[in-house]
A and B are shown apart, each in its own frame.
Chain A
Amino acid sequence: ELKVEQNPLFLSMQEGKNYTIYCNYSTTSDRLYWYRQDPGKSLESLFVLLSNGAVKQEGRLMASLDTKARLSTLHITAAVHDLSATYFCAVVGSDYKLSFGAGTTVTVRA
């Protein structure tokens, strides 16, 4: 059974500083997604990573995938208040189903 672990689960960021969210998964996969969810809202796709070494960037967010280490990172550069949300990673397992991590709740403070 595929297990997906995110850490930290809660992250208090200071504006202007850099932070990283980690997503570890337990079985081989080369397909990983990052989603953002604002409180009370639906999920919004951020990145789709489909191969080892894939790196994608959008604004202050950069995601990467290391399939050998079974690890993806979501790096936040110079945090701003608008980035406050919950971030989920999700991994496609060998059974071709998407398994989600528990989410990382990010709060950006001045």
Chain B
Amino acid sequence: DAEITQSPRHKITETGRQVTLACHQTWNHNNMFWYRQDLGHGLRLIHYSYGVQDTNKGEVSDGYSVSRSNTEDLPLTLESAASSQTSVYFCASSREPWEDTQYFGPGTRLTVL
């Protein structure tokens, strides 16, 4: 069965360190998304990609970057982790970008000390 996975599931890091969160999908979807979830804010879009070599900024992109070298993976990098980036991060993918169901990964809980 097709799926979307994230790793690690939990991560504790220190302020200033670079952190990369992995997202891998086997749906063969062109469209992939990264969200963060914070209490009281619902989910907020960080970055998204419509296909290989394509990346776009979302609502809360400062301090984050992504790259898309193949269809299956969209890693999210925190260049210099800050305590404000403590959150739960969800990756999602979809067949059509904004007209189709987005399938979400299990999430990564990141704590920045």
Residues of chain A having any CB pair with chain B under 8 Å: 4, 31, 33, 41-45, 48, 50, 88, 90, 92, 96-103
Contact = CB atoms under 8 A, between A and B. Distances in A.
Nearest to A40: B107
A42 B98 contact: no
A44 B104 CA distance: 7
A102 B101 contact: no
Nearest to B58: A97
> What band does the interface of chain B fall in when counting residues whose beta carbon is under 8 Å from A?
20 to 34
B1 interface: no
Given A42-B90, A42-B105, A43-B90, A101 B99 contact: no
Contacts of A4: 42
A93 B9 CA distance: 30
11 contacts: A4-B42, A33-B101, A45-B101, A48-B100, A48-B101, A88-B42, A92-B99, A96-B98, A97-B48, A100-B43, A102-B41
B44 interface: yes
B97 interface: yes
Contacts of A44: 104
Interface string B60-103: 00000000000000000000000000000010100001111111
A42 to B, nearest CB: 5
A97 B98 contact: yes
A101 B58 contact: no
B43 A88 contact: yes
Contacts of A45: 101-103
Given A88-B42, A97-B58, A102-B40, A31 B106 contact: no
